Amino acid sequence: MKRTNPIKKFRTASQGASAVEFAMILPSFVLIVFGIVMFGSYLAVVHGVQQLAAEAARSSVAGLSESERSSLANAYVTGNVNSYPLITASRVTVSAATSPTDSNVFLVTVNYDASNMFIYSLPSFIPAPPPTIVRTAAIPRGGY
């Protein structure tokens, strides 16, 4: 009966190779997918805030005075913020006024405090974006 060398047998064995490779790759893959979901939700909120600012600026075109434009922009944001499921309405603030640099441009700024999102409860070694999202939309007087 021929005896095989145990070291040679260990080197040529391949029954558990797939399991070992899977165990090495899985944590990295899970972290990447988790990061995509978490930062993707943050970017969805940023996009939603930008959309609110842009649409509020467009709706303010109908106003004749600055106060009327401001109230139209505020009304648009408060009336439509609930259509964005990742944005909490109580954390949104709106400011609308004439641009300080150009009197023919009306600016609508939407601020959102995103500090309650899950991304900010992650460990500190993961870089987090700023918790306050500020987006501004400008529209010229007359709408063109």
Using alpha carbons only, give the angle 33, 118, 51 rounded to the nearest 5 degrees. 90
> Whose CA is closest to 71, among 79, 81, 63?
63
pLDDT tens for 43-93 read 999 999 999 999 999 999 888 888 999 999 999 999 999 999 999 999 999
* Interatomic CA distance for residues 133 and 115, integer angstroms: 10
Q: Say yes or no to pLDDT of 142 above 60.
A: yes
Contact 122, 103 (CB under 8 A): no
Mean pLDDT of 111-115: 94
Tell whether pTM > 0.75: yes
* Start-to-end C-alpha separation, the chain: 94
Least trusted range by pLDDT, from 16-20, 70-74, 81-85, 113-117 = 16-20
